[in-house]
Amino acid sequence: MREYKQFYINGQWVDPVTPNDLDVINPATEEVCAVISLGSEADVDLAVAAARTAFGSFGRSSRQERIELLESCVEAYKKRYNDIADAIREEMGAPHTLAVGGQAFCGQGHLEEALRVLRDFQFEEDLGEHRVFKEPIGVCGLITPWNWPVNQIGCKVAPALAVGCTMVLKPSEVAPLSAYIWSEVMHEAGVPAGVFNMINGDGPVVGTALSRHPDVDMMSFTGSTRAGTLVAQNAAPTVKRVTQELGGKSPNIILDDADLEAAVTRGVLHMYNNTGQSCNAPSRMLVPADKLAEAEAIAAKVTESVVVGDPASEDTTMGPVVSEVQFNKIQGLIEKGVEEGAKLVVGGPGRPEGIDKGYFVRPTVFSGANNQMTIAAEEIFGPVLTMIPYETEEEAIAIANDTPYGLAGYVQSENLDHARKVASRIRAGNVHINGASGGFNVPFGGYKQSGNGREWGAHGFTDFLEIKAVEGFGE
């Protein structure tokens, strides 16, 4: 069992001001796999003070110094790659293939992309005799979730380092193991003392203290819309910048001219990726009404091919959900779908057959739903797909946009021009045509209650920069 009770502050591993142990549960076994300590406001004060002091020098570091630092981070990360993948599998149940090929890969990808962008990023711009400077915003509070733990750490820490910010990271206390190893990577890479700090803790205590802190210049938050609004409210009195990547209830429009077998298969498998615990999961599949029965049959067949089980097995394609709280929430929403009259195509309440331990959920498909049903309106954050029939394309677009969220959208068509036209009408930050997914250089973020700001690539630098205009700079 791991003991990760210390915090990383000012370049050192230190004990909490007041120890407050918390067990970390392996969701596949329901057994304790680690012990951490939850931080307090006093720990936040120490971490922020270290970051504030370090910003005095790191905020004025040269591009070359930061290039060399990121190069060291990439190399140090590679050495711990498998350790990070193992931690992610253990802390949140990601199957081996996903933990290695997806989850851990994202951390390295964001570091490498930030390094690539930094080499040529324009921090200055001349407007006649005036010059505009893009300067690091200062001390950043970073709050990251449990569902893609290292991905979300990487897409915040990497650009913050690249532009010269200092930071305090609060990872999710539900899945904190990979963040601890990430912190060891930062230390091994030689990140200057105080530039990167990490403290464990919960949202009400550490998250609130960070958001309210007068010496924190920016909050970057990824998580639920409910928690994101609390961060913004706590940050408001100090008028700090707040960027948010929040929830989603993303539509997947299968147009009448799509290859139905390929489109439904793609959509179902994507829904079950990461056990449905992705904010951009295509959780609402919109299908032409006259093709609904055929689509249901395809979805059932694909679902039955999913291998649910031990995340350590290379044969497993879907692991457990992250916690008992999440398991119970999903079970309640599945039961709500049945109660509200949606057709249960496959799956349903309870654990998969043959599994009696662990937070495993039956991959589930509902059909015949509408946007007024709870399962079509609320973010379930589990392996539950809701199929919604439509009569006309205009109706499909209206259904797709009839949500307070706007993180992602999906359009399936054999006619690329047709797909492009429909994609242009989806109110979402990322729209995927025929299953395409962006690289680390493509901006990620949402419209409406899915957040504000953008992460990944060059766009991800922007949120960590202030704009200074020096007028009369030129001759």
Catalytic (active-site) positions = 245, 279
Name the residue with tokens 């630098």.
461
Which residues lie closer than 8 Å to 378 by C-beta, 6 or more apart?
Answer: 249, 333
Using alpha carbons, select from 192, 177, 172 the residue that is nearest to residue 56: 192
DSSP code at position 34: E
421: phi then psi, degrees, rounded to nearest 5: -65, -45
Distance, in Å, from the CA atom of 67 to the CA atom of 88, rounded to the nearest integer, reads 28
Distance, in Å, from the CA atom of 262 to the CA atom of 426, rounded to the nearest integer, reads 22
**Two tokens, residue 176:** 């904190």
Which residues lie closer than 8 Å to 287 by C-beta, 6 or more apart?
Answer: 254, 264, 295, 387, 388, 389, 390
Distance, in Å, from the CA atom of 41 to the CA atom of 221, rounded to the nearest integer, reads 18
Entry field: residues in the chain = 475
* Contact (CB, 8 A) for 26 and 319: no
Q: How far apart are the first and last CA of the chain?
A: 65
Residue 400 DSSP SS3: helix
User: Residue 361 burial (CB < 10 Å; 0-12/13-18/19+)?
Assistant: buried
Name the residue with tokens 């720990």.
43
**Two tokens, residue 466:** 């202030």
Distance, in Å, from the CA atom of 16 to the CA atom of 200, rounded to the nearest integer, reads 9
Distance, in Å, from the CA atom of 33 to the CA atom of 39, rounded to the nearest integer, reads 19
Distance, in Å, from the CA atom of 282 to the CA atom of 250, rounded to the nearest integer, reads 5
Alpha helices in 93-238 (DSSP H): 96-98, 104-120, 149-163, 177-188, 208-212, 225-235
Residues paired with 25 in a beta bridge: 32
C-beta atoms surrounding 292 within 10 Å: 18
Using alpha carbons, select from 413, 147, 384 the residue that is nearest to residue 284: 384
Residue 447: its H or E element: strand 447-448
